[in-house]
Structure 1
Amino acid sequence: MHNLFEPAAAGEILERIERLQPASARQWGRMTPAQMMCHCSAALEVASGRRQAKRTLIGRLIGPRMRHLLTSEKPFPKDSPTAKEFKVMDECDFAREKQRLADCIRHFHAAGENGCTRAPHPFFGPITPLEWSTGMYKHMDHHLRQFGV
């Protein structure tokens, strides 16, 4: 499974973000492309330790048993539930969010394992830096597929 510590994987995600347009049609869900990028940036900020996230109750109950989903080849399912603190309801500036997300990916990639948080994942609980990186790749892939890129 790819992860954002790999140069080729990070480059592929950055290239797909570059293809995203304000009018890119969503295949599922409710977010606009700008909201999706804001949501993804927030997740990367948690993974890099620049933002804190609370553990969810459902995550505490079943998250550790579902940890294998982070590293499986199977994509995340469409319309997966999102923790309230990661839901983006406000309108977002497309160009600004595109730059912010690209910067977050570059920062996460460049910092590598040593720059990854040691805090537990909000849903899965304690995970390794490689699991964070793989999960972030899968999260980016999930949302880029949501908008056809």
Structure 2
Amino acid sequence: MSSIYNSSDNQEIINRINQLNQNSQPQWGKMTVDQMLSHCQAPIDVAFGDLKLKSNFLFLLLGKMIKGKMLKSKHFQKNSPTAKDFTRTGQYDFEQTKADLIKKVKTFETEGTNAIKVYKHPFFGKMTVEEWDNLQWKHLDHHLYEFGV
């Protein structure tokens, strides 16, 4: 599997982000392209420790039950549910939001596994840097594929 820490794989994600424009349309889902770019930053912010989400026992229990299935799957399912804190409904400056996402993606390459500051995911519980890698890659790939890139 591709790795967000690997230079060439990281650049592949950035190249795909750069193929988007403000008129890009989703093949499924409800988000606009600017909302998707903002949405994709939220899980990265959690991994970097910049967004702190509260977890509760029920969500952690459910998360632990599906974590293995998600990490083993090749891709995320279309129209998968998302955390309320990751939902985007407003409008965002396309160019700025795109630049912000690219900067955060590059951090995985430049800092490697040191980019991860949180080892307890608010939904999946304890996670290794390899599991964060897997989850971040699949999440970005999922939404870029959603927008045809």
**When the two structures are superposed, what TM-score results if normalisation uses the length of structure 2?**
0.92
State the distance in 2 between where 1:35 and 1:7 align.
26
Partner residue, 1:117: 117
Amino acid at match of 1:115: A
**CA-to-aligned-CA distance 1:44-82 (integer Å, 9 cap, x gap):** 111122221222565312211222244325200011111
| Structure 1: unaligned runs, 5 residues or longer | none
Give, in angstroms, the shift of residue 118 of structure 1: 2.8
| SS of structure 2 residue aligned to 1:71 | helix
| SS of structure 2 residue aligned to 1:15 | helix
Amino acid at match of 2:94: F
Partner residue, 2:6: 6
| Structure 2: unaligned runs, 5 residues or longer | none
- Kindly indicate whether the alpha-carbon contact (under 8 Å) linking 1:48 and 1:108 is maintained by their aligned counterparts in 2: no
- Residues 1:92 and 2:83 aligned together: no
Give, in angstroms, the shift of residue 99 of structure 1: 0.1
State the distance in 1 between where 2:120 and 2:61 align.
14
State the distance in 1 between where 2:43 and 2:148 align.
20
User: How many corresponding residue pairs?
Assistant: 149
Distance 1:97 1:104, change over 3 A: same
- Kindly indicate whether the alpha-carbon contact (under 8 Å) linking 2:35 and 2:88 is maintained by their aligned counterparts in 1: yes
Amino acid at match of 1:83: A
Distance 1:78 1:130, change over 3 A: same
- Kindly indicate whether the alpha-carbon contact (under 8 Å) linking 1:117 and 1:129 is maintained by their aligned counterparts in 2: no
Cα RMSD for the two superposed structures: 1.5
Give, in angstroms, the shift of residue 6 of structure 1: 1.2
